[in-house]
Chain A
Amino acid sequence: MKPSERGILSEYDFKRTGVKVGYGLMCLLIALIVVSMLYPFVNTFLNSLKTTEEFFAFPAPFFPSKWLWHNYSEALTLIPIWTFLKNTLMIFAGTVVFALLFIGMAAFALSHLRVPFKKWVTLFFLSTLMIPSATYLIPNYLNLQELGLLNSYWAFWLPAGANAFYLMLMKTFFDGIHKELFEAARIDGANEFQCFVRLAMPLSTPIVMTLLIFYFSATWNDFYWPSLVMLDKSMYPLATGIYKYVVYPNSTIQWNVKFALLALSMLPPLVFFLVFQKYITRGLNVSGVKG
């Protein structure tokens, strides 16, 4: 057996009964965990197709007796889900454009250009990492209010670039690109902006994908902050809509319809995840190493 193929256990260990039994138990435990991970999703989906009586039947049947797709059409009339979805996508798109442009430019400058007072500028950016966002969330809200940005997409687009962690990730990546590449481009008459757009960004697809995924899950997940910043119902992103109208203590929506709504709103991120799975796990490693 090649050394790279072994883990903590070697082939030799498996000849011992104690190890065999332990390993079997461990596999069983992992299988149980996997089932407990998947069960809620399956259960949510199947429950969303049951009648109310079936939903509350005791003991509840696992499969609905008749697949009641009608719950979904009822769910769609209950909240303006398309408006919410549009808002989520608008926020996501603008966030990504602004964040990548500003963070990318700053990271590029810190990595490959001469910036006056570079040390101080870097400190200016990175020292915000020490300050937890929760402590300035309320003044941030008051600040947006004074700037007149409440209830508009700009409240999400403009601050998107204010993230020292992503700036650091991007700068580290740019550091890995050879300087000679840009020098060659400069000799060929490219200005710095062209270097950035035509060379640095295309070469940084992995880190850009990672940031895309981070921003996607943040936009898709965040429900509380938008519920403060967006004042009109017509401006809510999906998660906020679900929070305000579906999931709150003492909500009165019927459970089967509620589950149809929940199933609907977890479908897009599920698809997104399964498509970009490779990048997501890699991105986790990037962020994990950096802490």
Chain B
Amino acid sequence: MSQEAVARSAAIAAKKKFNWQLWGLLFVLPEIIIFLMFLWIPIVKGVVYSFYNVDFVNGNSFVGLQNYRDVVSSEDFWMAIRNTLYYMFLCVIIGFWVPAVVAIAVSELKRFQGLARVAGYLPSVIPAIVLYGMWVWFYDPIGPINTMLTSLGLEQIDFFSKGMSMVSIVIMETWQNFGGAVLIYIAAIVGIPKDLYEAAEIDGASVWQRIRSITLPSMKPLLILMFLLQIINTSQSFQAQMAMTGGGPDNATLTYLLLMYREAFTYLHFGKATAMGSMLFGVMVVLSFLYLKLQRRSETA
């Protein structure tokens, strides 16, 4: 009798378990299909296509490493890499430290802190394309910035000259993006225990010393993370360059991705473009591997 009851409850439990698994499967299945169709298949195809000559009319044909050879032997490719590295360098020099400094300053404000935060974040809200349109005018030879410079008796700046155009774009993007980073940094600064400052002050630490030895070290993990994110993001930049200068003048703002899209959608060399994509992918994998390794080492240390 009791044995029967046990058996029955075991059967019910097994059925319930099966039911649970079924529900679980049912719930993840759509997402698995979507990930497969729109992420994994394109990712694999990207690598496969890079060995093919993609032709919509006559069908694809295997060409081995020809796409890679073509890409590497073109002058634009090396120019694009140089420009992208230059752009990343400028973003670090001009853009990276600004949000951290502003965040420390704003977090010290006693009043109007909310206003400063909202104002800083405002440009991130506006569609990027609208900003590009606005800034093309601000950078114009007769635009507001140059008007101001002449009224101050200074030389005009040709913002879209060969030497200046990349710098102009970086300044604009810093202006556009730094608000979001400021908010993230402020969240970290708010989390620093205030007793640390109190204790440091009692020990006679000056304001600079407090910032240097309490605030900045507390922000360090976040700073490293933001630095890496910035490197990843800026290595893939092309939108501002495309909309504001079209890669010019004289290819001075031709970035890697801009060249890739140009190969794909202007010249319809999809094979070459996917080869460029695969190379970028390879570099990214190596970089993230290095990052993981570094992180592990700092954890064990």
Residue ranges of A at the interface with B (Cβ–Cβ < 8 Å) = 3-4, 6-10, 12-13, 19, 22-23, 26-27, 29-30, 33-34, 36-38, 40-41, 43-44, 47, 56, 58-60, 101-103, 105-106, 108-110, 113-116, 118, 121, 124-125, 128, 130-132, 134-143, 147, 158-159, 161-162, 164, 167, 191-193, 196, 217, 220-221, 223-224, 228, 238-239, 242-243, 246-249, 255, 258-259, 262, 265-266, 269-270, 272-273, 277, 280-281, 284-285, 288-289, 291
Q: In this assembly, does B284 line the interface, its C-beta being within 8 Å of a C-beta of chain A?
A: yes
| Known contacts A34-B116, A106-B31: A132-B284 contact under CB 8 Å | yes
Can you give 14 A-B contacts (C-beta < 8 A)? A7-B107, A7-B197, A8-B197, A8-B215, A30-B105, A37-B119, A41-B122, A116-B25, A138-B46, A139-B43, A167-B31, A239-B127, A247-B130, A247-B132
Task: Select which of B17, B133, B187, B242 is within 8 A of A285 by beta carbon.
Answer: B187
Chain B hits for A103, CB < 8 A = 31
Chain A hits for B128, CB < 8 A = 221, 223, 239
Chain B hits for A239, CB < 8 A = 127-129
Chain A hits for B49, CB < 8 A = 138-139, 142
Known: A116-B21, A239-B127. 9 other contacts (CB 8 A): A12-B201, A114-B17, A114-B24, A131-B43, A132-B281, A135-B281, A136-B42, A248-B246, A285-B184
Q: In this assembly, does B254 line the interface, its C-beta being within 8 Å of a C-beta of chain A?
A: no
- The CA-CA distance from A118 to B108 in the complex, in Å, is 46
Q: In this assembly, does B278 line the interface, its C-beta being within 8 Å of a C-beta of chain A?
A: yes
Task: Select which of B133, B210, B215 is within 8 A of A247 by beta carbon.
Answer: B133
Task: Select which of B46, B201, B215, B222 is within 8 A of A10 by beta carbon.
Answer: B201
Q: In this assembly, does B104 line the interface, its C-beta being within 8 Å of a C-beta of chain A?
A: yes
Chain B hits for A137, CB < 8 A = 277
- The CA-CA distance from A106 to B119 in the complex, in Å, is 37
Across the two chains, which residue of chain B brings its CB closest to A47? B137
Chain A hits for B130, CB < 8 A = 242, 247, 262, 265-266
CB distance from A16 to the nearest CB of B (A): 9
- The CA-CA distance from A8 to B107 in the complex, in Å, is 9
- The CA-CA distance from A249 to B194 in the complex, in Å, is 51
Task: Select which of A8, A30, A159, A221 is within 8 A of B102 by beta carbon.
Answer: A30
Which B238-295 residues have a C-beta within 8 angstroms of A? Answer: 239, 242-246, 248, 257, 260-261, 264-265, 270, 273-274, 277-278, 280-281, 284-285, 288
Task: Select which of A22, A164, A223 is within 8 A of B129 by beta carbon.
Answer: A223
| B interface secondary structure, majority | helix
- The CA-CA distance from A242 to B129 in the complex, in Å, is 7
Interface centre among B31, B45, B244, B264 (most CB of A within 10 A): B31
- The CA-CA distance from A44 to B126 in the complex, in Å, is 12
CB distance from B269 to the nearest CB of A (A): 10
CB distance from B287 to the nearest CB of A (A): 10
CB distance from A135 to the nearest CB of B (A): 4
Task: Select which of B21, B34, B210, B280 is within 8 A of A161 by beta carbon.
Answer: B34
CB distance from A133 to the nearest CB of B (A): 8
Q: Let me know if B35 and A26 touch, CB within 8 A.
A: no
Q: Let me know if B20 and A114 touch, CB within 8 A.
A: yes
- The CA-CA distance from A228 to B210 in the complex, in Å, is 52
Q: Let me know if A7 and B284 touch, CB within 8 A.
A: no
CB distance from A96 to the nearest CB of B (A): 15
Q: Let me know if A105 and B183 touch, CB within 8 A.
A: no
Task: Select which of B27, B40, B274 is within 8 A of A192 by beta carbon.
Answer: B27
CB distance from A94 to the nearest CB of B (A): 14
- The CA-CA distance from A122 to B121 in the complex, in Å, is 34
Task: Select which of B105, B125, B288 is within 8 A of A269 by beta carbon.
Answer: B125
- The CA-CA distance from A281 to B278 in the complex, in Å, is 36
- The CA-CA distance from A167 to B100 in the complex, in Å, is 29
Task: Select which of A110, A115, A255 is within 8 A of B137 by beta carbon.
Answer: A255
Q: In this assembly, does B78 line the interface, its C-beta being within 8 Å of a C-beta of chain A?
A: no
Q: In this assembly, does B120 line the interface, its C-beta being within 8 Å of a C-beta of chain A?
A: yes
- The CA-CA distance from A56 to B121 in the complex, in Å, is 30
Task: Select which of B32, B120, B243, B264 is within 8 A of A138 by beta carbon.
Answer: B264
Which B115-162 residues have a C-beta within 8 angstroms of A? Answer: 115-130, 132-138, 142, 144, 147, 151
- The CA-CA distance from A174 to B102 in the complex, in Å, is 35
- The CA-CA distance from A246 to B134 in the complex, in Å, is 11
- The CA-CA distance from A272 to B124 in the complex, in Å, is 13
Pairs of residues from A and B, 10 with the lowest C-beta to C-beta distance, nearest first: A109-B27, A106-B31, A288-B184, A113-B24, A159-B38, A115-B24, A139-B46, A247-B133, A135-B281, A249-B246
